Chains A and B, each alone.
Chain A
Amino acid sequence: MSSEDIYNKKFSSFSYVEVRKQADSYRLIRTINGEVVSTASVLDKGYSVRFFNDGTLYFSSSNNPENLGAKPDKIQGWEKGFDDQSPSSGNFRAEEEVPISSKSIREKEEILKNLYQEASSQPLHSKLKSLNLDYVERVEEKDVTINGISFSSYVPRVLLSAVIVMKNERMTVNGRFEYGGSGGLEHLREVDLKEKVKALDDLLVKGKSVEPGSTNVVVSGNISGIMAHESVGHPFEADRILGREFAQAGLSYLTFMKGRIGSDAVTVIDDPTIKKSNGYYEIDDEGVKAKEKVLIKEGNINELLHDRFSGYRMDTRSNGSGRASSHSREPLVRMSNTFFKPGKVKFHDLIDVSNGVFIKSYMEWNIDDMRLGQRYVGLEAYEIKHGEVGDPLLFPVLEGNTDQLLKSVEEVDDSLQFFPGTCGKGDPDQPVPVWLGGPDMLLNYKVRRI
């Protein structure tokens, strides 16, 4: 049964209705030290409806479309209304350069085994205790009808997650790295685990303590990406500012901060329409056409992420940020691909300082529930000496409030790197695929020891 049939049959009397038929099919392969420990396939298929009645949203989902429905209670709810812009119709799909189906499961298992072989057979001074790989291919298919107007989508994705544990007589280090996006197996070309293992080996052997205090801190696109996501993307979700997520992931500093929150070098964008991206879509799950959103423009707060309900409440329009992770989850205000906009200078211009710290990747990170106080603990990190990247440093910690960090950005280079992530939000929790990204950035900031 199509989403349109369900809409016409049961739900067309409500002023706002979404009906979604969604199938997510996955294949997973897990290896430990080059040996397959688990293969699984998942078909998560079902239907949902969400409608608005007297200030309350009612959501119902089931594997069986006949079971959809909810009886509105006699309550006056919190919602005020919805943005009634016309839904978009049509269909969109993400193209696979190297189709997922072009290789068998056996061949994919061999790829994972080879990645381990390549990383573990190089000369190392420390012990590679474990290298665990989780490979996930996922195809997301949606058929959605909003107030009688329908669209469909087909988005395949590939994700490879690696956890590395290495040890020498000094200590143990853990690293976690992810690769992937929408499309096909072409994303596996980006995997550089051999280099990552070598970098952690160098860290164990040569890593030295970081000198705490103010310095020139250059962060890679990996760090600028997680900052864009955690300290800009999340607090710019309008439903958080309104308090809808207060009991879950918290509020936002935008409940009290206005105007300028970063230096002129800071422009942060969320854009779902980037081809090959992990957070790719063209129409959101409320039927609103997706577009680029400039959240911070040259240091100034510019635009929030909205769905139809936050848009109405804040007297504006949805900008196509409503996403649901599966048929059994309601659309929420979500990020897609969130990144700092690159600048014009080169990386060597950023490190052209007498001394400093270059943080290339991180392991531990977190942020408070106002999205102000954050902490990133460097994993691959190096000293900068006389304009050159030098010896590895042990776990420099970058900590501070969002506005302090964003105002300390002096320059950003012309590179743009993206990393896949899985963003959590809502109750029940719903993880959605995103990209986090940015250029290398120079901050005049402070570091501390772990």
Chain B
Amino acid sequence: MKSIQEFVNLYKGKGYNVAVLRLKERRKVIKYVESKIENVQDIEEERFSVMLEREGRYGISHSSRLEFNGELSPGKIVPVLSQGGELRKEKERVPVQVVELESRYPTYGTLVGVQVERELITSNGFHGLDKDGYTYGYFRVKNGDYSGSWAFSDVNFSKKKVEETVRMAEHFASFQGRAEIEDGEYQVVLSPQAVGNLMMYVANMASKFSILAGTSMFRERGETMGNENITLMDTPCEDRPMSAEFDDEGTHTFNKEVISKGIFINPLSNNELGETTGNAGWINPRPWNLEVKEGDSSLESMLTGNVVFINNVWYTRFNNYSEGIFSTVSRDAVMVYKGGKFVGIAGRVRIADSLKKILSPNAVSKERYSVMWWDAKLQGVYPYLSVNVRLIR
């Protein structure tokens, strides 16, 4: 079997621009049902992605073998490789372990550990190797008709982190009693889990490919999309899950503000769609991991007045990508506060509004959490956000 370098040299000798991205991943998934282990999964995968380009015709192929099994087509957009260089990062992380959960309520969830090797060799002389790992967990507890959830993500596994996450989920599930709310505009405090779900959509829309395809609410750099309380960053250089040293075209990654105090300042780009931001994706740039800058509010202060706190959301769908018009459904504790006092749980509600309203918070917490969960697969560090949005039953 040829080495990747030999494969690249072979095609380079035939006049091709070529890039080979090798991704090897070992994933351990421990699934919990009613506080017991239902399932343990060990998933090992190695994939070679090959991009070949010559005279404006290109193709991409993905296979478990080092081969090119695609065809070259003339494309409107053609991947452009960065100049050579060498980057090597090898991090030893504490791997995930099977742990038995202790909780006062039946607990459900998954604990996931991932070890990743990502290697890129290009015909422009770039060679990058990135070996890293991370752990994340998401737990949902059931207290009769009430429930609560919480999530964490970290580069190292720790049993303490799992226990703290379960305690937080228990905390939200412990609130009881019913409160009714009518359809209308509310001051809503979103938990970091809910923020994680919504920011995943915002960041994907910030890709220049989404803008080109018309499936983004963003149009151009410099437009106002929120208020000065919101700054959203792409943070591949932080010591966090899913960080990366180089992108798929061999560009060094760097941290950047995507939205700075409400202004869209950095569309995520690769070489072929404009000035690169180190976010390639051949053809389609993507975010690595995210951060919303902290504010100066405490969660306690955000819950004063008439407020609805939402523990989590899922199933976010858009009626209009171009305008950011969406709805999303709450899950777990929807806590109603009147005059700063908890009055009950409202049951399931839907936020039906514009993402621009989510990007215009009236308060942002100082406290932040590193989360990743089943419907927020892009890792991020998020605060609580207080926003004014329309809730419907």
Contact of B374 among A45, A67, A79, A248 (CB under 8 A): A248
CB-CB contacts below 8 Å: A92-136 with B: 105-106, 109, 129-130, 132
On whether A43 and B69 interact (CB within 8 A), knowing A163-B213, A369-B331, the answer reads yes
Among A38, A58, A172, A369, residue most surrounded by chain B Cβ atoms (within 10 Å):
A38
Please encode chain B, from 354 to 393, with 1 for each CB lying within 8 Å of some chain A CB and 0 for all others: 0000000000000000000010010000000000000011
A1 contacts the other chain (CB 8 A):
no
Residues of A within 8 A of B323 (CB): 172
A375 vs B44: C-alpha distance in the bound complex, in angstroms? 39
CB pair A43–B215 under 8 Å, yes or no, is: no
Chain A residues closer than 8 Å to B29, beta-carbon distance: 427-428
Max chain B CB contacts within 10 Å: which of A27, A32, A364? A364
Q: Using Cβ atoms and an 8 Å threshold, which residues of chain B touch A129?
A: 214, 322
- Complex contacts, B33 vs chain A, CB 8 Å: 78, 242-244, 246
A416 within 8 A of B: no
Residue pair B40, A174 in contact (C-beta under 8 Å): no
**B64 at the A interface (CB under 8 A):** yes
Q: State how many angstroms separate the Cβ of A112 from the closest Cβ of chain B.
A: 11
Contacts of B348 in A (CB 8 A): 368-370, 372-373
A62 CA to B42 CA, complexed, in Å: 9
Let me know if A36 is at the binding interface, CB within 8 A: yes
Q: Please determine whether B77 and A37 come into contact, CB atoms closer than 8 angstroms.
A: yes
The reply to whether B374 and A174 contact each other, CB–CB distance below 8 Å, is: no
Contact A163 B215 (CB under 8 A): yes
Who on chain A is nearest to B140 by CB?
A247
Query: Given the complex, which residues of B lie within 8 Å of A57, measured CB to CB?
Result: 38-40
A56 in contact with B38 (CB, 8 Å): yes
Closest to A61 in B: B43
B240 within 8 Å of A (CB atoms):
no
Asked if B76 contacts A35 (CB within 8 A), the reply is yes
Query: Does residue A87 face the partner (Cβ distance < 8 Å to B)?
Result: no
CB distance from A24 to the nearest CB of B (A): 11
Residues in chain A near residue B61, CB distance under 8 A: 40-43
Given A40-B60, A40-B62, A373-B350, are A78 and B215 neighbors across the interface (CB < 8 Å)?
Answer: no
Residues of A within 8 A of B46 (CB): 63
Contacts of B13 in A (CB 8 A): none
Which residues of B are found within 8 Å of A77, using beta-carbon distances?
Answer: 36-39
Query: Closest chain A residue to B44 by CB distance?
Result: A62
Measured in the bound complex, the distance between the Cα atoms of B211 and A32 in whole Å is 12
- The contact string, 1 if C-beta is below 8 Å from chain A, for chain B 92-108, is 00000010100000101
The answer for the CA separation of A428 and B377 in the assembled complex, in Å, is 10
- Nearest residue (CB) in A for B31 is A427
Interface of chain A residues 22 through 38 with chain B (CB within 8 A): 27, 29, 32, 35-38
Is A347 on the interface with B (CB-CB < 8 A)?
Answer: no
The distance from the CB of A85 to the nearest CB of chain B, in whole angstroms, is 21
* A165 on the B face (CB < 8 A): yes
Question: Quick check: B43 and A428 within 8 Å, CB to CB?
Answer: yes
Q: A77 — nearest CB in chain B belongs to which residue?
A: B37
Q: Which of B241-249, B252-260, B290-298, B312-320 contacts A (4 or more CB under 8 A)?
A: B312-320
CB distance from A234 to the nearest CB of B (A): 11
B73 within 8 A of A: yes
Residue of B nearest to A246 (CB): B108
Q: Which residues of chain B have C-beta atoms less than 8 A from A168's C-beta?
A: none
Which residues in A have their C-beta under 8 angstroms from that of B328?
A: 366
Query: B319 is contacted by which of A29, A165, A364, A399 (Cβ under 8 Å)?
Result: A364
B214 adjacent to A247 (CB under 8 Å): no
List CB contacts (< 8 Å) of A354-378 with chain B: 363-370, 372-373, 375, 377
Set of chain A residues within 8 Å of B100, measured between Cβ atoms: 75
Are the CB atoms of A70 and B40 closer together than 8 Å?
yes
Within residues 299 to 313 of chain A, which ones have a CB less than 8 A from any CB in chain B?
none
Chain A residues with CB below 8 A from B331, complex form = 250, 368-369
Is A41 within 8 A of B37, CB to CB? Answer: no
Contacts A41-B61, A373-B348 known; A247 to B76 CB distance under 8 Å? no
Does the CB pair B215–A132 fall under 8 Å?
yes
Q: Is B179 an interface residue (CB 8 A)?
A: no
B71 surroundings in chain A (CB, below 8 A): 39, 41, 105
Chain A residue with Cβ nearest B67: A43
Report the minimum CB–CB distance from A88 to chain B (whole Å).
24
With contacts A56-B39, A330-B39 taken as known, whether A366 is within 8 angstroms of B64 at the C-beta atoms is no
A75 to B36, CA, bound (A): 9
Residue ID in chain A nearest B63 by CB atoms: A43
Cα distance, A165 to B319, chains bound together (Å): 11
- Within A401-450, the residues touching B (CB, 8 Å) are 427-429, 450
- Complex CA gap A32/B350 in Å reads 33
* Any B CB within 8 A of the CB of A59: yes
- The distance in angstroms between the C-alpha atoms of A111 and B291, with both chains bound, is 43
Q: How far is the CA of A192 from the CA of B318 in the complex (A)?
A: 23
Least CB distance, B261 to chain A, in whole angstroms: 26
Cβ–Cβ contact B64 & A46, under 8 A: yes
What are the interface flags for B193-233 relative to A under an 8 Å C-beta threshold, 1 for contact and 0 otherwise? 00000000000000000001111000000000000000000
A248 to B139, CA, bound (A): 10
A176 CB to closest chain B CB, in angstroms? 9
Contacts A37-B283, A39-B75, A61-B44 known; A172 to B38 CB distance under 8 Å? no
What separation, in Å, do the CA atoms of A42 and B139 have in the docked complex? 34
User: Of B31, B34, B106, which is in contact with the most chain A CB atoms at under 10 Å from its CB?
Assistant: B31
Report if A82 contacts B (CB, 8 A): no
Which chain B residue shows the least CB distance to A374? B329
Contact B44 A399, beta carbon cutoff 8 Å: no
Assuming the contacts A41-B61, A43-B64, asked whether A36 and B73 have C-beta atoms less than 8 A apart, the reply is: yes
A298 to B144, CA, bound (A): 32
CA gap between A58 and B201 in the complex, in Å: 34
Q: Determine if A274 is an interface residue (Cβ-Cβ < 8 Å).
A: no
Q: How far is the CA of A165 from the CA of B215 in the complex (A)?
A: 8
The chain B residue with its CB closest to the CB of A35 is B76
**Does B59 count as interface, using CB distance less than 8 angstroms?**
yes
Question: At the interface, yes or no: B27 with Cβ under 8 Å from chain A?
Answer: yes
Contacts of A42 in B (CB 8 A): 61-63
Contact of A174 (CB < 8 Å), options: B69, B75, B322, B393:
B322
Minimum-distance CB pairs A-B, first 5: A130-B214, A364-B319, A78-B36, A41-B70, A366-B315
A/B interface sample: 8 pairs, CB < 8 A: A58-B40, A59-B42, A70-B40, A78-B38, A79-B38, A247-B140, A330-B39, A368-B348
- List residues of A whose CB falls within 8 A of some B CB: 27, 29, 32, 35-46, 55-63, 67, 70, 73, 75-79, 105-106, 109, 129-130, 132, 163, 165, 167, 172-174, 242-244, 246-248, 250, 328, 330, 363-370, 372-373, 375, 377, 395, 399, 427-429, 450
Residues of B within 8 A of A (CB): 27, 29, 31-34, 36-46, 59-65, 69-71, 73-77, 98, 100, 106, 108-110, 112, 138-140, 142, 149, 212-215, 283-284, 314-323, 325-331, 348, 350, 352, 374, 377, 392-393
A sample of 17 more A-B contacts (CB under 8 A), given A56-B38, A57-B38, A60-B44, is: A29-B73, A39-B60, A58-B40, A73-B40, A75-B37, A77-B38, A129-B322, A174-B318, A243-B142, A363-B318, A364-B319, A364-B327, A366-B329, A373-B350, A375-B352, A377-B327, A450-B319
